Amino acid sequence: MFAMQSIHSSIAKLKQTALALSIGLGMGVTLQAESSPELIKQLQSLKSNDASNQIATDTIRQLNAANDVTLIQSLTAMKGATPVGRNWLMGLANSLYRKSGKSQTAELNKFLSDATQDGEARYTVFKWLTASNAELRKTLLDGMKQDPSPELRYLAISEAVQAKPDTKELLSLLDSARHAEQVVSIIGVLKEKGTVVDQVKQFGLLTEWKLIGPFDNVGTVNFDKVFPVEADWINGKVKDEYESKLVADGKNVNAKWINESAKSEDGTIDVAALYSNEKGCIVYAATEFDSEKEQDAELRLGCINGNKTWLNGKLVMSNEVYHTDMKIDQYTEPVRLKAGKNQILVKISQNEQKEQWAQRFAFQLRVSDSTGKAILAKGK
C-alpha cells in the first residue's frame, strides 16, 4: 500500500519536474520543480513589479497545468495574500472552478460559511453557488447583513432595503451599513418614512474648522510650496495673520483665521463661498479631533480640488487632482490616532479653470475605523 503511494508520489514529482523543465527550456529560464502548495505560496506574497511578474507568470503556468492543485486550496490561499496576489489566485480559482467547481458544492458551501476566510474569495464563492439558485441566494443574504466581507455585507443590505423593511429594520440596516452611498441611501429612505437621522453624526464628519487664505496659486504652481502658515502649523505654532495673495483690488491683505461650521448634511465646507470664488489660490483648514484612546483609524476626505492632509504634523495624503469628482470617502488613508487631541490640517488648492463645472472649491473630512464606521470625538 505505502509502496504504491510512494511510486505514485514519485511519478507525480517526475511529471512536475518534466513539466517545469519543459517550460523552463521553452522560456529560456531554469525553473525548479516545486509542489503546488509551494507554488501557491509564491502567489500569496506577490507585489506588482517586474521581478514578481516574471515569477508569477511562470508559477501560474505551472499551476494551470498541474493536476494536484485544488479549488479550495487556491481560495484558502487568498487569506493573507497581497492585493495583487489575491488577483493572481482568483484567476487560478476561476479556471479551476470551470474545470471542476460544480462538483464541489459541499466544499464551497463550507468555505463560504467560514467567515474567517478572505472576503473577496467568499464573495466569489457566493456568486458561484447562487448563480442559478435564487432561493439559496436569498437565504444566504438574509444572514449576511453584518458579514465581515464588505461586498457580501453591501449586497445583503442592498437586497434587504429593496424588500421595503419597516423603520426598525431600516435603523438596524443603517447600523450595519458601511458603504457611504448605501448609508446615504438608507438615511433617505428613513427620511421618507418620517425618521430623521443625523447624517453628519452617522458618518462622523468633522464640522468645526478654522480656515486661512487665500495664498497665491496663480498658474497652479504652488501645490507643493510650503507657505509660512504650513511650516508653522507643522511645527506646532501658528500666528494669527499671514501675508495673503494679491486679491482683486491689487492689494495684499493679511490673511486671518476664520471659524466655519459645516452646515450641510454631507459636512461640506464651501471654501469658494468663504473666499469670494477666488481662483488660483490655496486655503488651509485646521481642526482637532479628540480621541478617546490611542487607536487605528482612517481619515476619509472628499475634495474636488488639489489637496494635502496632515495629522499631528505628518503628511498623510496628497492628491493633485482638480475637478474630477467629490464624494464622501473619495480618498482614504489609514492613520494612528493618539489619545487626546489630534491636530488635522487640510490644504485645498484651487486652479484657474474657467468651465462652469470647474468652479467648486470645497472639501469634507471624517474619521472612521477601517470598515467605514464612524469614530466620534470624545463627547460627541
Partner 1 sequence: MRFKLRNTFARCALAFGFAPAVFTSSLQADWPQFRGPNAGSVSLDSKLPTKFGGESNANVAWQTKLPGRSVGGAIVIGDQVITTSSSGMDQRRLHLISVNDKDGSIRWQQEFVARGRTNCHPTSAIAAPTPVSDGKYVYAFYSSNDLACVDLDGNLVWYRSLSTDFPKAGNDVGMSSSPIVVDGVCIVQVECQGDSFAAGLSCQDGRILWRTDRPKQSNWASPVAIKLPSGEQVVVMQSSQDLLAVSPKTGKTVWTMDVKCSSIPSAMAAESRLFVPAAGLTVFDLSSAGAVPSKLWDNNKLAANACSPLVVGKRVYTISRTVLASADLFSGELKWQARLPDAKSIWSSPVVAGNNLYIFTEDGKCFVVNLGDEKGEVVETNDLGESVLGSPAISGNALYVRGVSSLWKIAEK
Contacts with partner 1 by CB under 8 A lie at 47-50, 53-54, 56-58, 60-61, 64, 83-84, 86-88, 90-92, 94-95, 98, 120, 123-124, 150-151, 154-155, 179, 319-322, 324-325, 327, 330
Q: Based on CB atoms, which residue is closest to partner 1, 95 or 343?
A: 95
Give 286 or 326: the residue with its C-beta nearer to partner 1. 326
3-state DSSP assignment of residue 123: helix
Nearer to partner 1, 56 or 160 (CB): 56
d(CA 269, CA 376): 19
- Comparison of 6 and 54: residue with beta carbon closer to partner 1: 54
Question: Cβ distance 372 to 328 under 8 Å?
Answer: no
End-to-end, the C-alpha distance of the chain in Å comes to: 70
How is 80-121 classified by DSSP, letter by letter?
Answer: T--HHHHHHHHHHHHHHHHHHGGG-HHHHHHHHH-TTS-HHH
Nearest approach in angstroms of CB 2 to partner 1 is: 35
Residue 138 in grid coordinates: 436569498
Tell me how far CA of residue 78 lies from CA of 37, 90, 99, 206, in angstroms: 13, 8, 19, 36
Q: How far is the CB of 253 from partner 1 (least distance, A)?
A: 30
Give Cβ neighbours of residue 312 (< 8 Å, ≥ 6 apart).
Answer: 338, 342, 343
Report the residue number, 61 or 256, with the smaller CB distance to partner 1: 61
Query: Could you count the other beta carbons within 10 Å of the beta carbon of residue 140?
Result: 20
State the minimum distance, in angstroms, from the CB of residue 70 to partner 1. Answer: 16
The smaller minimum CB distance to partner 1, of residues 92 and 160, is found at: 92
> Are 228 and 255 spatial neighbours (Cβ–Cβ below 8 Å)?
no
CB of 300 to partner 1, least distance (A): 14
Give the nearest distance from C-beta 25 to partner 1 in angstroms.
15
Shortest distance (Å) from residue 117 CB to partner 1: 15
Burial 183-217 (b: 16+ CB within 10 A, else e): bbbbbebbeeeeeebebbebbbbbbebbbbbbbbb
Q: Where are the alpha helices (DSSP H) in 28-82?
A: 36-44, 50-65, 71-76
Query: Are residues 82 and 45 in contact, defined by beta-carbon separation less than 8 angstroms?
Result: yes
Pick 32 or 259: Cβ nearer partner 1: 32
Measured from the CB of residue 122, what is the shortest distance to partner 1 in angstroms?
A: 12
Report the residue number, 20 or 255, with the smaller CB distance to partner 1: 20
CB of 77 to partner 1, least distance (A): 14
